[in-house]
């Protein structure tokens, strides 16, 4: 078979309470074809799962990689808008905003979470080129959500005590119903 040919694959998503999601991801050092293939598989996984963002640890790879594809005003996602973000660093966070967040690793749960409204993001693309962007609104929120994954944190950890307790009870019920 032609060696350069590789099929893009949907990868299995790691789901809470899997301990893998607590791992701290490591910096990427090689911007090679293996990385490109992995990014293509992450995109396929996100799209097939109806997600707008995905961190590598959600597909069991502890590397500082995340992807985002924020829909336009009509709710349409375009690959032209895809951000492949490697080794991200956030600075100049300002303001606060509340969004209803969801996560492919915590299926069926959406919660209001407070985060910074605006930020500056420095990151590398798949070729190792550095970029600096200003982000606000949903893009800023999704960047913060995904970077938390790289640091082993989930959005449910930001819930106040009572809401977290309620979530745990309902989530357990949901997992049980999925098993039977
Ligand atoms: C606000 C909104 C989203 C983020 C981070 C990225 N999160 C997602 O992309 C979540 C996607 C998601 C998709 C689901 O699946 C379907 O709708 C079919 C879903 O529901 C189930 O799994 C049943 C939950 C989440 C940050 C901030
Ligand atoms: Co998530």
Q: What is the pLDDT of residues 96-151, one digit of tens each?
A: 999 999 999 999 999 999 999 999 999 999 999 999 999 999 999 999 999 999 99
- Left if phi > 0, otherwise alpha if psi is -120 to 50, otherwise beta: which for 29? alpha
Report how far ligand 2's centroid is from the alpha carbon of 81 (Å). Answer: 19
The ligand 1 atom at the shortest distance from the C-alpha of residue 146 is 5
Question: Nearest bound ligand to CA 174?
Answer: 1
Predicted confidence (pLDDT) per residue in 54-111, tens digit: 999 999 999 999 999 999 999 999 999 999 999 999 999 999 999 999 999 999 999 9
Q: How far, in Å, is the centroid of ligand 1 from the Cα of 1?
A: 38
pLDDT at position 12 is 98
Torsion angle, alpha carbons of 124, 125, 129, 134, to 10? -60
Which residue matches tokens 């307790």? 165
**Would you call 114 a catalytic residue per the annotation?**
no
pLDDT at 1 (0 to 100): 47
The residues pairing with 122 across neighbouring beta strands, listed in sequence order, are 89, 132
Ligand 1 contacts CB of residue 51 (under 6 A): yes
For residue 145 and ligand 1, the question of a CB distance below 6 A is answered with: yes
What is the 3-class SS of the chain, one letter each residue? CCCCCCCCCCCCCCCCCCHHHHCCCECCCCCCHHHHHHHHHHHHHHHHCCCCEEEHHHHCCCECEEEECCCCCCCCCCHHHCEEEEEEEEEEEECCEEEEEECCCCCCCEEEEEECCEEEEEEECCCCCEEEEEEEHHHHHHHHHHHHHHCCCCHHHHCCHHHHHHHHHHHHHHHHHHHC
- Note the pLDDT of residue 5: 72
- In whole angstroms, give the CA distance from residue 63 to residue 82: 19
Please state, for a pLDDT cut of 70, what percent of the chain lies above it. 98
Question: Model confidence at 178, in pLDDT bands (50, 70, 90)?
Answer: confident
Q: Which atom of ligand 1 is nearest to the CA of 52?
A: 9
pTM of the complete model: 0.96
Q: How confident is the model at residue 22 (pLDDT cuts 50, 70, 90)?
A: very high
Residue 32 clears pLDDT 50, i.e. is over it: yes
């Amino acid at each position: 078979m032609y060696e350069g040919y590789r099929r893009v694959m949907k990868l299995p998503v790691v789901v809470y309470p899997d301990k893998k999601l607590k791992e701290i991801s490591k910096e990427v050092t090689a911007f090679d074809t293996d990385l490109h293939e992995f990014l293509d598989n992450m995109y396929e996984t996100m799209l097939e799962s109806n997600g707008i963002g995905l961190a590598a640890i959600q597909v069991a790879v502890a590397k500082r990689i995340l992807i985002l594809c924020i829909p336009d005003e009509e709710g349409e996602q375009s690959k032209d808008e895809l951000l492949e973000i490697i080794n991200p660093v956030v600075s100049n966070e300002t303001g606060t905003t509340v969004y209803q967040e969801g996560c492919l690793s915590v299926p069926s749960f959406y919660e209001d979470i407070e985060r910074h409204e605006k930020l500056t993001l420095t990151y590398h693309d798949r070729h190792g080129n550095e970029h600096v962007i200003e982000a606000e609104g949903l893009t800023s929120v999704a960047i913060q959500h995904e970077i938390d994954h790289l640091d082993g944190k989930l959005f449910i950890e930001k819930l106040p005590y009572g809401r977290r307790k309620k979530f745990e009870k309902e989530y357990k019920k949901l997992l049980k119903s999925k098993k039977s």
